[in-house]
Every structure is written in structure tokens, then in C-alpha cells.
A and B are shown apart, each in its own frame.
Chain A
Amino acid sequence: MVRQPAKPMVRLPEFRSHKLPQQVPRLAAVFVLAAVALIAARSFLVPDTFGEMGHYRAAAIDTIIAHPKKYAGQRECTLCHGSIMEERLAGNHRGLACEGCHGPAAGHVANPVEVKPVIPSERDHCPRCHSYNPSRPTGFAQIDPVTHNPLMPCVTCHDPHAPEPPMVPGSCSACHGQIASQKAVSHHATLECVTCHEAPDEHKISPRAVRPGKPMERAFCGGCHAEDAESPQSIPRINPRTHNQQYLCWQCHYPHFPETS
């Protein structure tokens, strides 16, 4: 296309004001087309439920919820096995879930006759919780599976639904393994637990309901550690009247593993 030669500089160029330049409607058409394409593409590509509840596909929640459950939950077990539940609630295993030991039981709930949950009676099951491990909290019942009645299944002596020591434990270390192992290598190794602790027999049956006692006066430790005590000379001495009078001895010293210097 050839344009008209330019008019003299002093005059403004003439516009045909009644008609838009050709490129404007064409550009507008392109923009409109692009906008329509964008809206169309968006409605096609963005899933239906996207943005309903946030910047995500709300229907994803339904997919996640549809995941099948393997563990049925305590409620379901109680519906049929109420008597075992009652027995358990009265014993030391009251906080445990049935499916903790018996495994996931949703299949058993759906089909109680054909699908049976596992009954772990092997000796390696209970040590999962009850073998001695120094990282376990103090006072949690722990045994050494190597020396504790070797080869005997735990259920021979212990009822797993209401476990109790089958007889009065021969030693405190049956439960207090951590303390016993520390004490054994300390300066207090030769002291019996009952030298310092009053341990009523009921404590061995109901360990949490009946607690053992511990020395509540400084004179008790003073019996060996006071300056004028009648005890071997190698025992470290203090003057109970000047040595940190406001504290009981075990508030600073750990009697199961007293410091060496």
C-alpha cells in the first residue's frame, strides 16, 4: 500500500474521524479471541471442584477418605469381646488397644467367622515392649529376654489381658532393670533395695496403687555418711548440720548411682 505524500509540516495530519484505523478492530478481535480461548481453556483444564474449599481440588478429600481402614478401632472389639475388655480394664494392660497385639482387625469385623486376628504367643512378641532398653522410661516393666525363663512362652506364666507377676518377684530388678543395672556398678552395689525402700508386698501385685517408700529424713543417709557415724572409714563423710540443710540427700545425689568423688 502506498500512502499519500505528507502535507506541509505546519498542518496537522487529517484523520478520518468517523472510522477506526483498520488495525484497531483486528487487534481487538485477536484480544477477544484470546480471552475467549483463555476462559474456555480454563473451564476445561481446571477440575470442577478446584477452589471450592481452597487452592486445591475438593474432590481429592473424597478420594483420601475412601482409603480402606485396616484397624477397626477399640469400639468394634468391645461390641463382641466385652468380657475380655472388662478383664483388661482392671489390669495393667488397660491402656492397650486390642489391635496393638492382635493386629489390624477390620477384616475380622467384616467377616468374623473366616478372618481371624493373630494371637501372638511366641516368645518374641512381648519383649517388643518389655525387653530391657536403657532408653525406656524408668519404672516401665522390663526384663532381659536372655536370662528371664529362657525358651518359655510369656503366656505360660502371664495372662496378657491382665498381666501380673505370676508370683511375688524374686528381685526388684524383675521390673526395675535400669535401676538395678546402675546400682550394680556403683558404690551402693552391696546395699539391698529394702535397705532404703520400704516395699510392701502389695507393691509387687499392684505396682502403681501401692508405692514403695523412700528415706524422708537426712538422718537416714547420715547413718553412714555423717562425720560421727559408725561405718567404714572409706565412706565419704559430711556434717549434716552444715551441709545444705534445706535439702533431702537424694534431691542432689542419686543414690542408685552416687558420684564417685
Chain B
Amino acid sequence: MMSTDVPDAAGSPAAEESKPFDRREFLKKCGLAVPIVLGVVRVPLLEAQAPSNGDYDPSEHLYGMGIDVNKCIGCGQCVLACKTENDVPLDSHHFNTWIERYVIRTDEEVEVDSPNGGLDGFPPMASEGSEIRRTFFVPKLCNHCAEAPCVQVCPVGATFTTEDGAVLVDDEYCIGCRYCIQACPYGARWLHPETHVAAKCTFCYHRLVDGLVPACVEVCPTGARLFGELEGRATPLARFMRFNDLQVLKPHLNTKPKVYYANLDGEVR
């Protein structure tokens, strides 16, 4: 039973009329309410529009990253720089990039650990178990797949691939449903504990448009990480791709990653 003593959207003089709500009146008021509701939804969306960056043309670029596993010393500088540059919480659960330590023993046991993502370096290995055959560090991050599963599953179009190849998240449009986090086969996405939207490596997109390299590449002391154009330019990355046997992670998933690994062990997943 609806009473009319509550002022409604149409603002009709209500109280003295006590006759029940009829269908015609209800539809009329619904019709009047539509612009008001839409207006309320609309205002924040309008405010979200920011001025555009004029002199950067994404169609002139296609970015990728090269990682030489043989050069990584597991110092964790990249993890620290990434967290600092991108305001990633400094806890041990949220990482845009992290380092994994692989230990392959003579009995084919493979151990992988990443204490605090490698942020504080790696403690000495547990000595129990059989003799170590190989051991090395593998830096990991979002692969910025050309066929990104995370982009495919986003129900609202809040995650997308830019023309220059970066997979980004629209913070203001993301509804925090976590589908993309489940869809990513590389575990590269996480839910921001404060904003409650999906977060991930952006290739430091805000640095790229100014001609800078991502923070992790900037601070890497051994040159294990290289960043640059994938197509037709003389860059360190182009040279890296010419002279190394390259692999990508989980190639059987056909995600077409743009992070290329050199000297990657077959045990790395």
C-alpha cells in the first residue's frame, strides 16, 4: 500500500488526496523520475573526464619487455621501485612485479619461493633435501598479453589494451568484481585493499608517455630487464630479441605475451 504523504520526484501536492495510487499516475511519476536518476548517475561520470595528453601518439609505438634470467641477481630493487612508483601497498600480498627463486634438485624436485616478493632479498635456502642441481631467479610481472584473458572477461569494459600494447585498468569504471583476477593465468592482478578496484602492472604507462622506461627497468642493476619497441627500431630490446632464444610464459594458452624471457629454464611456469 503506497501512501502519498511522502514528497515524490514529481513533486505533486500530495497529502490532501488519499485515493490509492493508480497505474497512470505511477507511470507518469516513473517517467518524470528517469531524468533525475540519470542525472545523478551522470554527474560523477562527467567529472571523471580529464584533459587529454596532446603530443604522445600511441599508434607510433608497440611496447614489450625482455628479461634475461641469466642476469637477474634477485636483489629486489625492481620490486621496491615498482611499489614506490605505483603506490602499491608495501605488504607481502600485493605486487605488480615480483621475483621467484627456483631451486631444482638432483631428484627433480622443484622448489619455488618468493618471500615478500623478493622485496627484501632472499634468505639462505633450506639445506634439507637432496643436492641442488640448478638455481636461479625469475622476475615476473604482467605479460601485457596481446590476447589478454583479463580484458576478455571484464563485464564493464574497465580493463583494456591500448594501441601501444599496454593492458590497463580504468580505476573509475572498474566495479571490483575480480573476474579479471581469476582469469589471469599469470597471477599478475590483485584487488587494491583501499580502492577495491583491480590493480596491475601498467608498464609504468605514465612514464612511457614522457619517454621514460618503467621504474623496474630504470633501477635494474644488471640489465636483466630491458624495455622498448617491439617493431622495427634499433633499441636494446630489438637487439636482445635478435640474439637470444626467446620464450614466453605459458605459450600453450595463446595469450601472446609481450614479456619475453631469455635463458628461461623449462621448469619455469
Instruction: State the A residues within 8 Å of B (CB).
Output: 37, 40-41, 44-45, 47-50, 53-57, 59-71, 73-74, 93, 95-97, 99-100, 103-104, 128-129, 131, 133-137, 140
Contacts and interface: CB of A to CB of B under 8 A. Distances in A.
A44 B162 contact: no
A62 B205 CA distance: 10
A56 B160 contact: yes
A104 B173 contact: no
Given A64-B206, A71-B81, A71-B215, A45 B172 contact: no
B176 interface: no
B205 A65 contact: yes
B53 A62 contact: yes
**Secondary structure dominating the interface of A:** loop
Contacts of A62: 50-53
18 contacts: A47-B49, A56-B158, A57-B48, A57-B170, A60-B158, A60-B170, A61-B168, A65-B53, A65-B206, A66-B50, A67-B206, A69-B206, A71-B212, A73-B213, A128-B121, A134-B132, A136-B74, A137-B71
A69 B85 contact: yes
Going nearest first, the 6 A-B pairs with the smallest beta carbon separation are A56-B160, A60-B170, A100-B219, A62-B50, A67-B206, A44-B38
A64 B71 CA distance: 31
Nearest to A128: B75
A44 B41 contact: yes
A65 to B, nearest CB: 5
Contact of B218 (A60, A65, A73): A73
B48 A63 contact: yes
A48 B42 CA distance: 10
Interface of B: 34, 38-39, 41-42, 45-46, 48-53, 70-77, 81, 84-86, 101-103, 121-122, 124-125, 132, 135-137, 157-163, 168, 170-173, 202, 205-207, 209-210, 212-213, 215, 218-223
Contacts of B122: 133, 135
Nearest to A55: B157
Nearest to A41: B38
Given A44-B42, A47-B48, A55-B160, A63 B172 contact: yes
A59 B168 CA distance: 12
A65 B210 CA distance: 9
A95 B223 contact: yes
Contact of A95 (B38, B39, B222): B222
Contact of A45 (B38, B85, B220): B38
Contacts of A65: 53, 205-206, 209
Contact of A59 (B41, B52, B71, B202): B52
A177 to B, nearest CB: 13
Contacts of A96: 221
Contacts of B103: 135
A62 B172 CA distance: 12
B199 to A, nearest CB: 11
Contacts of B75: 128-129
Nearest to B221: A96
Given A60-B173, A69-B212, A136-B74, A97 B219 contact: yes
B76 A128 contact: yes
Contacts of B45: 45, 47
Contacts of B209: 65
Nearest to B212: A73
A104 B85 contact: yes
A96 B77 CA distance: 11
